[in-house]
Structure formats: C-alpha cells, structure tokens
Amino acid sequence: MINELRITFPSLSANESFARAAAAAFIAQLNPTYEEVADIKCAVSEAVTNAIVHGYRDTMGDIFMNIKLTADRTVRIEIRDRGCGIPDVTEAMKPLFTTDPENERSGMGFTVMENFMDKMKVISTVGKGTKVTMTKRLSPVSRMKG
C-alpha cells in the first residue's frame, strides 16, 4: 500500500458529491486517465447513494469510505454503512431489481458499479449494515516524449 484515505460522513444526500470529489482527488496521485477517474467517481456515487437511500432510508447514520492505493496501481474502495442491511444480496444485484419501484432510476446501482470497476463485492447483514468493496487496476502511466 502506498497511501490510504479514511473518512466518515453523515448520510445526507449532499455528501454524495463530496464523496465522489474526495475519491477523485485522492486517486489523482496515481495519475489516472480521465476515463478511470470518471468510472471511479460514478461507482462511488452509486455506492454512497445506495447507503443513503436504501441503507438508512429515512434515518440518519454514518457512511464510512476507505480508499487504498497500491504500488501496482490498484485502487480499492470500501463504502460501508450501519443501516438496515440487504435481505437478499443476490436478488438485489440483479439489474432493475428495486425496493423503490416509483423511482425511475432505481435498480441499476450495483450493475453500474460492476461495469465501471474490475471487481465488486457486497456483504450485508440485516439490521447491521452493508459493505461494498470495489477494486480497479489503473492503466500504466504513459511517459510523454518531448
């Protein structure tokens, strides 16, 4: 590991953009491509939004974000909450599955995370919370000649 960031913030929807920006700023030290930054920001946004909207629902709680950077240019991101948990993770990870059918954007969060990251794992316990762990190996740094 070459660096690590640990932050905790309240489950306010305004903090979703903060988490996304913090992740992008922190991984900048690895000189990622624009596309890699966009992918990571989108995955973080989905994970944090899930924690706010589904994990805590109408209550307040803390969201924990941990980002580790390794020498082989791997970014490991963990988003954790102490919310209500997911009764059936396998079912929840199916595209278009939602517990909120009235929200037209529902049901694609886990699919988006899986598509933008190399690996994604969800561990959840009802009544105790959910942990989403995502990893992405960044492309090698290109050396500009000049």
Catalytic: which of 105, 114, 137, 143? 105
Per-residue pLDDT tens digits for 77-113 = 999 999 999 998 888 777 766 666 666 556 677 878 8
Per-residue pLDDT tens digits for 21-71 = 999 999 999 999 999 999 999 999 999 999 999 899 889 999 999 999 999
91 an active-site residue? no
pTM of the model: 0.88
Domain ranges of the chain: 3-137
| Separation in Å, CA 14 to CA 9, 20, 45, 83, 117 | 10, 11, 11, 18, 24
First to last CA, the chain: 32
50 an active-site residue? yes
46 an active-site residue? yes
Catalytic: which of 16, 36, 50, 80? 50
Catalytic: which of 16, 46, 73, 80? 46
For 3-137, which CATH class?
alpha beta
Instruction: Note the pLDDT of residue 91.
Output: 80
Both structure tokens of 53: 């909207």
